């Protein structure tokens, strides 16, 4: 595969982490415009760990994910109890604050006669772990998709677990969830931490993929894109956001011939798609129908034929 | 005269109205009795145009209303006093009345009608500049009725006006319903309070699970049988 | 900020010795100028060894460009650079989508594998190193 | 002490444009409980048409204002038709994401039409600044402030004294009841959108005339400043929008004076974050209760 295709696939893999991070919060009904902040924190943390402290890659990625999770809990504490819209705007404000703080953040160590490390708006160059340790583009691609597979498996398991059910209940109606004995606040914080760690991990991978970070990369565009993927692809399962990413970057790359007009076509397409399927392609109803169809195939007893449709509120 | 023929309204696949036919004669009080979930509010919302029926027709004095937007239905002369009142909470009583006459162009007449409403509902005059949200249940009900009357409707639909009100206030509401009818307003009343409704109604219908199961005048059925059939579900054979 | 610096220093102490720079590190000086047709630029690149600063000839080099905001979205398909007359000099013609700041990614995939990133501001009439302050709206 | 008052004055001046942007946001949010992320970009489209007319046809300020206003209204209605009208009652989030997709579309369309990074915009006034005692008042800033206050007064009168305003407030209070009293809710929402876009167009014109240049970043800048000012002032509250805008302007002016431009934006976001965490309803609005519908 030529380098360009590997590059695109790597981008798709890395962005999927932030899409899954926003998806996880959408599960509990929280709309976050700020996952790019934890993506940035993870990227800088992992970049510093390998480029400045010489840590091995897996430890650096773990460190990035942990920092993302911790930051998510810290910002989640005062905001998760807020009403949906206020939480969305609070996360936007927090993410912009993180970006502006990174514009002031300077921490450099001289290695080999050269200052290496974040230098405010000039960015953070030289995260050269994959070159120093001879990690080829294909190997790094395998690492990205390996981690993504693990995360997806984890999310699929979560879907079937009690915790997954608790998340969806909170997403539907937090008061009702509390009435059913779910510790709503704790579950929300856990979801925020998981989402923050996911974004942090994605950030760490991104830092090593591009070897170069700059605060402007992590502005509101990235966060809103992450949110949009889940809503385009559908919130039925963890695959939904990935479909959103494929449509977005897959589409952007494939209609490269309209170089200048991509966003015009893509923007219009998303708007029309959301009219037809306001809850995304793979939404809960479709997933439920597929589930019933599959259970029919495998001979499991099927629930009664015309399941009652929910009466709109 | 308001005429409903074979009306079917569904939420997705669930048919809330399974072919309802009934009439509300002009100048009379017609009442619709039935338990919760019989489809009474669905019928009211279908008449008012908030819900679009799948089949059947709604006509007012021969004019077809089915499929019109709520605004056009108000122009045709229908006014609905909705279930649990839906006053405009953060607007004053006066502004709620003005909103009721939103479609009317005759500003002077509207002012006279407003005075007339204050005369009929003295409590509203006292609370004229107060935010509607701060009124008591009974006062909000009177405001909702007054607001509906401000559009000078040919027929006034009332969806469970006694809901959640103290007995004293319920008696007051029904006195007003009778008084409005005496002044010439055709009223189509949906109620669960069968006892009070039967005292004012000239004609009534019973409804169960989206179907009309009885039509007649209060005298025809003894009150207890009405209640027994409407709420306790008479044996089909009976 | 000092708290963060302390935490970083501590982390460095417990970290393993900084990875030895087995690989040679490349350094790049990039100058671009408008090629006449709008949004198209001719760039000449000088690759040198970061430590010994002698020119790096015979490297297969591709040049890609990312818009700093949403890099994975507004990017330009990488172009292969053609070696210039002297050793270590390369030429590449870039077609961008927009004026403004672009981060040029120089990918070395020849005998030596490395990536160097420089940010330049591309205007219709001139190309300059990105100014210190990003072109944020003045307000 | 003089600096303090001078900064506050400057802050009030720039804050007035934030107030107008917030006013436009509040009108849309008030009527439909929906967030329109394309609000800034639709104003930018109007501004780009304005600068096009100014550059190509060297039109006078009045023509540029008219074109900017008309462009903003047309772009605003385009957004309403595509992102908000077809959405079912429950699809709040879907229409917000759809408005984001259209934001991308409008921004790229503007960049394609006028690829250069900055374009000139006719200045409001070019006279020397007036001095009022020890303080300096730029003439164009003064015009912006008076223009903003005058416009918000007009909008206030329109909302609280006119027939159209009565209908709009009824919809804000209870959309179903608004239907029942015979208000054509659909048409009223479209008119509210047009009004909000027009207000945004004026705000955009004033800001860009003071700045004398327009960049594609203006769309995002306007959306975010309008959003912050609305949130500080209080959702759906018209006086709150103006107050929120002025307050934001003052906070920014002082933080810029003491800490520099980068920290200025940081303080603006800090103010917003603190306001949300401590008083979600904002200064004058009341906190939202009904859930922000997640989808049909």
D269–A93 CB contact, under 8 Å:
yes
Residues of B in contact with D174 (CB under 8 A): 86-89
3-state SS, one letter per residue, for D110-149: HHHHCCCCCEECCCCCCCCCEEECCEEECHHHHHHHHHHH
* Of B198-202, C50-54, D68-72, highest mean pLDDT: D68-72
Q: Supply the pTM of this predicted model.
A: 0.82
Nearest to A53 among C15, C22, C101 (CB): C15
Q: What is the pLDDT of residues D102-150, one digit of tens each?
A: 988 898 888 888 777 678 888 877 777 888 777 888 888 888 889 888 9
Is residue C128 less than 8 Å (CB to CB) from chain D?
no
Q: What is the pLDDT of residues A240-286, one digit of tens each?
A: 999 989 888 877 777 666 666 777 887 888 888 888 887 778 887 88
Q: Tell me the three state secondary structure of residue B121.
A: coil
Q: What is the pLDDT of residues D114-126, one digit of tens each?
A: 777 678 888 877 7
Query: Which chains neighbour A (Cβ–Cβ under 8 Å, 3 or more pairs)?
Result: B, C, D
DSSP code per residue over chain A: --HHHHHHHHHHHHHHHHHHHHHHHHHTT---S-HHHHHHHHHHHHHHHHHTT---HHHHHHHHHHHHHHHHHHHHHHHTTS-HHHHHHHHHHHHHHHHHHHHH-B--EEETTEEES-BGGG-EE---HHHHTT--HHHHHHHHHHHHHHHHHHHHHHHHSHHHHHHHHHHH-HHHHHHTT--HHHHHHHHHHHHHHHHHHHHHHHHHHHSEE-GGGGSHHHHHHHHHHHHHH-SSSTHHHHHHHIIIIIHHHHGGGGGGGHHHHHHHHHHHHHHH-TT-TT-HHHHHHHHHHHHHHTTPPPPPSSPPPPPP-
The nearest alpha carbon in chain C to A206 belongs to C72
Query: Which chains neighbour C (Cβ–Cβ under 8 Å, 3 or more pairs)?
Result: A, D
Q: Calculate the average pLDDT of chain B.
A: 89
Nearest to D211 among C124, C133, C138 (CB): C138
D221–C137 CB contact, under 8 Å:
yes
Place C123 in a pLDDT band, splitting at 50, 70 and 90.
confident
> Mean of the pLDDT values across residues B78-90?
92
> Mean of the pLDDT values across residues B43-60?
92
Residues of A in contact with C110 (CB under 8 A): none
Q: Chain A closest CA to D285's CA: distance in Å? A: 13
A131, A144, A207, A225, best to mutate vs chain C, most C CBs in 10 Å = A131
> Mean of the pLDDT values across residues D177-188?
93
Rounded Cα–Cα distance for residues A248 and C74 (Å): 12
Q: Say if CB A125 and CB A47 are below 8 A apart.
A: no
Residues of B in contact with D88 (CB under 8 A): none
Rounded Cα–Cα distance for residues C119 and C68 (Å): 9
In chain D, what percentage of residues exceed pLDDT 70?
95
Rounded Cα–Cα distance for residues A247 and B77 (Å): 51
Q: What is the pLDDT of residues B145-198, one digit of tens each?
A: 999 999 999 999 999 998 888 888 888 889 989 999 998 899 999 988 888 888
Nearest to D116 among C99, C135, C137 (CB): C99
Rounded Cα–Cα distance for residues D44 and D217 (Å): 9
Residues of C in contact with D207 (CB under 8 A): 139
Q: How would you label D25-57 residue by residue, b for 16+ Cβ within 10 Å and e otherwise? A: bbbbbbbbbbbbbbbbbbbbbbbbbbbbbbeee
Is residue D281 less than 8 Å (CB to CB) from chain B?
no
Residues of D in contact with B46 (CB under 8 A): none
Place C3 in a pLDDT band, splitting at 50, 70 and 90.
low
pLDDT for D143: 87
A49–C11 CB contact, under 8 Å:
yes
Residues of D in contact with C139 (CB under 8 A): 14, 207, 211, 221, 225
pLDDT for D268: 86
Residues of B in contact with A305 (CB under 8 A): none
Residues of A in contact with D91 (CB under 8 A): 274, 278-279
A232–D102 CB contact, under 8 Å:
no
Residues of B in contact with D166 (CB under 8 A): 95, 98-99, 102
Look at A140-154, B93-107, D231-245 and tell me which has the smallest mean pLDDT. Answer: D231-245
Nearest to C98 among D14, D115, D207 (CB): D115
| Mean pLDDT per 10-residue segment, chain A (313 residues) | 83 93 92 94 94 92 96 92 84 91 90 83 86 87 95 92 91 90 92 96 94 89 87 86 86 67 79 83 82 74 47 38
Q: From residue B173, give the alpha-carbon distance in Å to each of B89, B125, B162, B218.
A: 21, 17, 7, 19
Residues of A in contact with D86 (CB under 8 A): 275
Nearest to D97 among A90, A231, A269 (CB): A231
Residues of A in contact with D88 (CB under 8 A): 278
pLDDT for C134: 45
Query: Which chains neighbour B (Cβ–Cβ under 8 Å, 3 or more pairs)?
Result: A, D
Q: From residue A118, give the alpha-carbon distance in Å to each of A205, D140, D186.
A: 17, 40, 52
Q: What is the pLDDT of residues B134-144, one digit of tens each?
A: 999 999 999 99
Question: Residue D150 class from Cβ within 10 Å (0-12 exposed, 13-18 middle, 19+ buried)?
Answer: exposed
Q: What is the pLDDT of residues C19-37, one digit of tens each?
A: 444 467 888 889 998 888 8
pLDDT for B39: 87
pLDDT for B3: 93
Query: Which chains neighbour D (Cβ–Cβ under 8 Å, 3 or more pairs)?
Result: A, B, C
pLDDT at D294 over 50: no
> Mean of the pLDDT values across residues C43-50?
88
Pinpoint the alpha helices (H) of chain D.
Answer: 2-32, 39-56, 61-79, 92-113, 139-161, 163-173, 175-180, 185-211, 218-233, 238-259, 261-278
pLDDT for A284: 79
The nearest alpha carbon in chain A to D223 belongs to A220
What does the domain layout of chain A look like in residue ranges?
3-233
> Mean of the pLDDT values across residues B40-46?
92
Q: What is the pLDDT of residues C64-77, one digit of tens each?
A: 888 877 666 667 78
pLDDT for B91: 92
Q: Which domains does chain C have, with CATH numbers?
A: 24-129 (2.60.40.1930)
Rounded Cα–Cα distance for residues D148 and D130 (Å): 19
Rounded Cα–Cα distance for residues D44 and D216 (Å): 7
What does the domain layout of chain D look like in residue ranges?
2-125+135-219
Q: Calculate the average pLDDT of chain D.
A: 85
Look at A105-114, A299-308, B19-28, B63-72 and tell me which has the smallest mean pLDDT. Answer: A299-308
pLDDT for C131: 58
Look at A170-179, A287-296, D24-33, D285-294 and tell me which has the smallest mean pLDDT. Answer: D285-294
pLDDT at C14 over 80: no
Is residue C34 less than 8 Å (CB to CB) from chain D?
no
Backbone angles phi, psi at A196, to 5 degrees: -65, -40
pLDDT for D291: 52
Residues of B in contact with D169 (CB under 8 A): 88, 90-91, 95
Rounded Cα–Cα distance for residues B174 and B162 (Å): 8
Place C9 in a pLDDT band, splitting at 50, 70 and 90.
low
Q: Chain C closest CA to A11's CA: distance in Å? A: 6
Rounded Cα–Cα distance for residues C119 and C125 (Å): 17
Query: How large is the greatest C-alpha to C-alpha distance in chain B, in angstroms?
Result: 58
Q: Say if CB A171 and CB A28 are below 8 A apart.
A: yes
Decide: B and C in contact? Rule: 3+ Cβ pairs under 8 Å: no
Q: Chain C closest CA to A147's CA: distance in Å? A: 19
Residues of B in contact with D170 (CB under 8 A): 88, 91, 99, 102
pLDDT for C126: 81
Q: Which domains does chain B have, with CATH numbers?
A: 2-191 (3.40.50.300)
Q: Chain A closest CA to B83's CA: distance in Å? A: 15
Q: Say if CB D282 and CB D244 are below 8 A apart.
A: yes
User: In this predicted complex, what is the ipTM?
Assistant: 0.78
The nearest alpha carbon in chain A to B12 belongs to A309
Is residue C39 less than 8 Å (CB to CB) from chain D?
yes
pLDDT for D14: 87
C74, C99, C100, C137, best to mutate vs chain D, most D CBs in 10 Å = C137
A83–D95 CB contact, under 8 Å:
no
Q: How many CB pairs under 8 A join A and B?
A: 11
pLDDT for A4: 82
B14–A312 CB contact, under 8 Å:
no
Rounded Cα–Cα distance for residues A27 and A174 (Å): 12
The nearest alpha carbon in chain C to D109 belongs to C98
Strands B78-81 and B155-159: parallel
A274–D87 CB contact, under 8 Å:
yes
């Amino acid at each position: 595969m030529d380098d360009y295709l590997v590059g695109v696939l790597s981008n798709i893999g890395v962005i999927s982490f932030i899409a899954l991070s926003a998806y996880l919060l959408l599960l509990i009904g929280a709309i976050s415009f700020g996952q790019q902040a934890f993506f940035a924190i993870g990227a800088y943390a992992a970049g510093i760990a390998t480029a400045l402290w010489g840590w091995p890659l897996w430890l650096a990625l773990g460190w990035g994910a942990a920092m993302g999770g911790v930051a998510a809990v810290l910002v989640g504490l005062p905001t998760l109890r807020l009403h949906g819209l206020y939480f969305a705007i609070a996360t936007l404000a927090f993410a912009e604050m993180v970006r502006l703080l990174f514009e002031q953040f300077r921490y450099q160590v001289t290695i080999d006669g050269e200052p290496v490390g974040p230098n405010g708006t000039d960015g953070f160059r030289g995260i050269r772990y994959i070159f120093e340790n001879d990690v080829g583009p294909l190997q790094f691609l395998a690492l990205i998709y390996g981690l993504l597979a693990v995360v997806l498996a984890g999310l699929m398991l979560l879907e079937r677990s009690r915790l997954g059910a608790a998340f969806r209940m909170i997403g539907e109606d937090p008061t009702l969830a509390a009435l059913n004995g779910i510790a709503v606040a704790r579950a929300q914080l856990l979801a925020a931490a998981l989402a923050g760690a996911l974004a942090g991990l994605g950030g760490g991978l991104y830092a090593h993929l591009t070897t170069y970070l700059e605060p402007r990369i992590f502005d509101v565009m990235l966060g809103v894109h992450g949110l949009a993927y889940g809503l385009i692809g559908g919130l039925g399962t963890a695959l939904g956001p990935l479909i959103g990413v494929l449509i977005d970057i897959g589409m952007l790359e494939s209609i490269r011939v309209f170089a200048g007009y991509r966003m015009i076509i893509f923007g219009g397409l998303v708007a029309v798609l959301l009219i037809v399927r306001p809850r995304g392609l793979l939404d809960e109803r479709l997933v439920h129908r597929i589930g019933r169809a599959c259970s029919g195939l495998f001979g499991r007893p099927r629930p009664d034929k015309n399941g009652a449709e929910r009466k709109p509120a | 005269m308001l005429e409903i023929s074979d009306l079917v309204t569904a939420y997705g696949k669930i048919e809330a109205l399974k072919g309802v036919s009934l009439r509300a004669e002009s100048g009379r009080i017609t009442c619709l009795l039935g338990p919760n979930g019989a489809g009474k509010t669905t019928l009211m919302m279908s008449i008012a145009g908030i819900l679009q029926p799948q089949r059947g027709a709604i006509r007012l004095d021969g004019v077809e209303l089915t499929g019109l937007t709520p605004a056009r239905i108000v122009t045709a002369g229908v006014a609905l006093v909705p279930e649990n009142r839906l006053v405009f909470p953060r607007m004053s009583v006066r502004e709620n009345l003005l909103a009721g006459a939103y479609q009317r162009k005759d500003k002077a007449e509207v002012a006279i009608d407003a005075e007339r409403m204050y005369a009929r509902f003295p409590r509203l005059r006292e609370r004229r500049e107060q935010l509607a949200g701060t009124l008591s249940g009974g006062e909000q009900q009177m405001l909702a009725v007054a607001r509906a009357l401000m559009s000078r409707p040919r027929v006034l639909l009332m969806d469970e006006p006694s809901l959640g009100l103290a007995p004293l206030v319920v008696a007051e509401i029904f006195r007003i319903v009778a008084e409005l009818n005496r002044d010439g307003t055709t009223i189509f009343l949906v109620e669960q309070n069968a006892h009070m409704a039967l005292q004012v109604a000239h004609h009534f219908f019973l409804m169960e699970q989206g179907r009309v199961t009885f039509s007649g005048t209060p005298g025809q059925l003894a009150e207890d049988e009405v209640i027994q059939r409407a709420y306790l579900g008479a044996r089909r054979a009976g | 900020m000092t708290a963060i610096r302390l935490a970083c220093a501590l982390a460095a102490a417990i970290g393993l010795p900084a990875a030895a720079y087995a690989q040679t590190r490349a350094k790049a000086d990039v100058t671009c100028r408008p090629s006449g047709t709008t949004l198209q630029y001719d760039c000449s690149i000088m690759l040198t060894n970061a430590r010994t600063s002698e020119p790096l000839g015979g490297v297969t080099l591709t040049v890609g460009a990312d818009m700093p905001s949403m890099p994975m979205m507004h990017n330009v398909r990488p172009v292969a650079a053609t070696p210039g007359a002297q050793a270590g000099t390369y030429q590449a013609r870039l077609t961008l989508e927009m004026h403004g700041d672009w981060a040029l990614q120089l990918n070395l995939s020849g005998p030596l594998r490395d990536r160097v990133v420089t940010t330049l501001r591309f205007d219709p009439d001139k190309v300059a190193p990105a100014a210190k302050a990003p072109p944020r709206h003045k307000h | 002490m003089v600096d303090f008052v001078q900064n506050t004055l400057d802050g009030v001046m720039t804050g007035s444009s934030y107030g107008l942007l917030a006013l436009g946001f509040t009108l849309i949010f008030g009527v439909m409980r929906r967030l329109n992320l394309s609000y800034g970009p639709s104003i930018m489209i109007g501004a780009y048409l304005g600068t096009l007319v100014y550059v190509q046809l060297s039109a006078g300020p009045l023509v540029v204002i008219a074109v900017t206003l008309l462009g903003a209204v047309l772009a605003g209605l385009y957004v309403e038709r595509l992102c908000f009208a077809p959405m079912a009652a429950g699809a709040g989030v879907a229409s917000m994401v759809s408005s984001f997709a259209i934001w991308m579309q409008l921004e790229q369309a503007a960049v394609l039409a006028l690829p250069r990074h900055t374009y000139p915009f006719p200045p409001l006034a070019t006279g020397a600044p007036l001095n009022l005692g020890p303080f300096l008042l730029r003439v164009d800033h003064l015009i912006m402030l008076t223009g903003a206050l005058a416009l918000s007064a007009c909008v206030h009168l329109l909302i609280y004294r006119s027939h159209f305003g009565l209908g709009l407030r009824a919809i804000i209070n209870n959309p179903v009841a608004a239907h029942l009293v015979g208000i054509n809710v659909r048409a009223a929402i479209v008119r509210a959108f047009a009004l909000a876009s027009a207000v945004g167009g004026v705000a955009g014109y004033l800001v860009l005339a003071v700045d004398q240049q327009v960049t594609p970043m203006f769309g995002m800048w306007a959306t975010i400043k309008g959003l912050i000012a609305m949130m500080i002032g209080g959702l759906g509250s018209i006086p709150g929008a103006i107050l929120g805008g002025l307050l934001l302007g003052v906070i920014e002016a002082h933080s810029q004076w003491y800490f520099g431009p980068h920290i200025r934006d940081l303080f603006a976001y800090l103010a917003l974050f603190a306001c949300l965490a401590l008083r979600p309803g904002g200064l004058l609005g009341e906190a939202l209760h009904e859930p922000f519908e997640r989808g049909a």
